[in-house]
Structure 1
Amino acid sequence: MYNDGIASDRFQAVQYVRSHPNATIPGYFSSYNLGIKFVNAASNASANAGSGTVGNLVLALNLARLFVTTSLNYAQFPYRVRFCWWGAEEVGLLGSIYHVEQASLPSATTESGRLQDYLVYFNYDMLASPNSNFGILDSLSVPPGTPNKTLPGTDRITNLFQQWFNEQKLPWTKSGIGGGRDFVPFLTEGIASGGVNTGAGGFKSATERDQYTALLETGNSGLANVAYDSCYHQQCDRINNVNPFAYEKVVKAADYAIEYMGRLRDLEK
């Protein structure tokens, strides 16, 4: 973290910043006031948007490190990987819709993003709910109006995540791929989509709890008839409202999907 000294007492970076004392969220202070806003934003909505935001950042930074560290001999992907953080999802998907609209324009460039360059889209959000499940976006529940050409690729992504969780001997749950999420603008434009999450405001049933208990230790299977995230959209969704066990697993699943798809030679098909 960097503090440019705008604060009157020119205190050192990190000191007196209103963040959880054990937080390890990376940040960069371009100014004191802006830095405070960044840290406070990262400390709020931790299991909700914060978990996906930081999870994507970790994936992006590590992938970049692998590509630029020559001693690791990490082979380049035949495709570009673009990491995106959308704004205003919950007021109408404004960020993702705007990007898709701009990417569809004739003036769009490779750098800004051209819609025809997108082959698959992964949505990683709600990754650390305290009473989590391992939700896999279900290709059988795509929203109305999804082009038929999108379905084979979306089904392939769903199967990929299911295979990973099965191989890891982890339970998983079908998660609706309906409207209200940032993958919808991509799906409706014919781009295969999928992803993982750990649940939001819905409740874990006794049946689901028992399914998870059969494969996980009791402490990781969660509580029946309790919301996946009791602090969903509430002030209590802070840095301590995170399930580290679930967070680690779904980020590893997300990483596997990027690595697997990035090595394929037939994504266009």
Structure 2
Amino acid sequence: MQLEIGRHSDSMTAGPGINDNVIWWQGLFIYPLIGSGTAANLALAVALAHLFQTINYSKYSYRIRFCWWGAEELGLLGSTYHITQAQNSTIAGERISDYLINLNFDMLRSPNYICGIYDGSTIDNNWFIRQKLPWNYTPFNGLSDFAPFLTAGIAAGGLFSGADDYKMQAQRDRFDTSPGQGLGGTADASQHPYYHKACDTIRNINIIAYEKMVQEAAFVIESLARQTDLKAWLYPAAAN
């Protein structure tokens, strides 16, 4: 049984997608400019691999699979293909029945950010509460790679720092209280004014938001993977 940790690795042709969400390639080499979810996935995978090599860190009961989807901006093509293959697979670990949950960590460093949670379960919001950080429910709108998983009946969750929706005054005031004065962003302005534009560059990101979101992502993975019976926790109706 496995958890799939995903994000996409393409951007719109209009811009480099440093928040949303590309890897720049040239031949066999990766440019140092990579999207927020791409870099987060890499950092989480490397950190987890390192922890598993230490003596005092017990291994999970579940497989953790990190995925970088292609062609999300063209219509979720990579993740849709992956699910189709899983539905037809008979190989253990590759079958749709082996999937417990998809966590989607797509855009994580929007300049006028929110701490958006796709699912809003207690595991998802516990870390923000402990850190005294405000957070918002974010609806599953079908516009990212969690959609094929949900359609296939797989539980999904994830984090999102905002796109072209506006940050409301109440949100701005909450964020100005914590993480701190002057860090609340701008009210009545786009959460990501550079969304799908040429100016989605390394200069237009929020480092504070990014650090908090990646820490939250690590907390969610650890919390889910330590569940004694994650399947029963995620699908209580099926367990009864």
1:227 Cα offset (Å): 1.1
**Structure 2 unaligned blocks of 5 or more:** 1-22, 233-240
Q: Which runs of 4+ in 1 moved over 4 A?
A: none
Using the alignment, how far apart are the partners of 1:262 and 1:138 within structure 2? Answer: 17
Letter in 2 for 1:65: H
Which residue of 72, 94, 102 corresponds with 2:85?
102
Aligned twin of 1:173: 136
Q: Does the C-alpha gap of structure 1 residues 220 and 35 become closer, same or farther in structure 2, counting only changes over 3 Å?
A: farther
Aligned twin of 2:75: 92
1:132 aligns with 2:113: yes
Q: How many residues align?
A: 210
**Structure 1 unaligned blocks of 5 or more:** 1-26, 140-157
Q: Which has the higher strand share?
A: 2
Alignment of 1:36-115 (within 5 A): 38-39=30-31, 43=33, 50-69=35-54, 72-110=55-93, 113-115=94-96
Aligned twin of 2:5: none
Identity over aligned residues, as a percent? 45
Which residue of 115, 123, 127 corresponds with 2:104?
123
1:225 Cα offset (Å): 1.4
Q: CA RMSD in A?
A: 2.0
Give the alignment's TM-score, normalised by structure 2: 0.82
Using the alignment, how far apart are the partners of 1:108 and 1:94 within structure 2? Answer: 22
1:138 Cα offset (Å): 3.9
Contact 1:135 1:173 in 2 (8 A): yes
The DSSP-based 3-state class of the residue aligned with 1:248 is helix
Q: Deviations over 1:230-252 (max 9, x none)?
A: 11111111112221111010101
1:109 Cα offset (Å): 4.6
The DSSP-based 3-state class of the residue aligned with 2:230 is coil
Q: Deviations over 1:17-74 (max 9, x none)?
A: xxxxxxxxxx9x9xxx4156x31xx62xx6xxx10010011000110111123xx421
1:184 Cα offset (Å): 1.0
1:194 aligns with 2:157: yes
